[in-house]
Amino acid sequence: MTGAAQVALCRICGEPMAPGEQMFYYHGSLGPCPKPPLPRPPVGGFLHMSADRWVELSKLASLEMQDALAEVAAQRAEVRRLHALLVAEADRFDSCSMAHHGDRIRAAL
């Protein structure tokens, strides 16, 4: 510690704690706080938003999620289309191979 001993202050009212209460954060074991509570600093962040702001953010997130899901569905449809083309091409290749090289392919299987 520095030269002067630190005085324990109540975290509610800001007043010095009485002897015997210095190990606590708040008055109470020897009586109530001698003064009204200190004003609380404003707290920001998501936990202290108004209900209207929560609804607004929820709607926005829902719209963004719908857009993302629509994009995924479009990509999935394109993948299915390309897969069908590849399968058709493979079938065509297999039928051509079987016609031209059927004996060698059968022997390799």
Confidence of residue 76 (pLDDT cuts 50, 70, 90): very high
Question: Are residue 60 and residue 85 in the same domain, yes or no?
Answer: yes
Higher pLDDT, residue 7 or 94: 7
Neighbours of 30 (CB within 10 A): 11
Domain carrying residue 86 = 47-108
- The domain total for the chain is 2
Give the tens place of pLDDT for each residue, 8-42. 888 888 888 888 777 877 777 666 777 887 777 66
What average pLDDT does range 57-67 have in this prediction?
Answer: 88
pLDDT of residue 85: 86
* pLDDT for the residue 20: 77
Clarify whether residues 32 and 51 are in a common domain: no
54, 10: one domain: no
Question: Are 2 and 28 contained in the same domain?
Answer: yes
Beta bridge partners of residue 16, listed in sequence order: 9
Pick the residue with more confidence: 7 or 28?
A: 7
Token output for 59: 């709607």
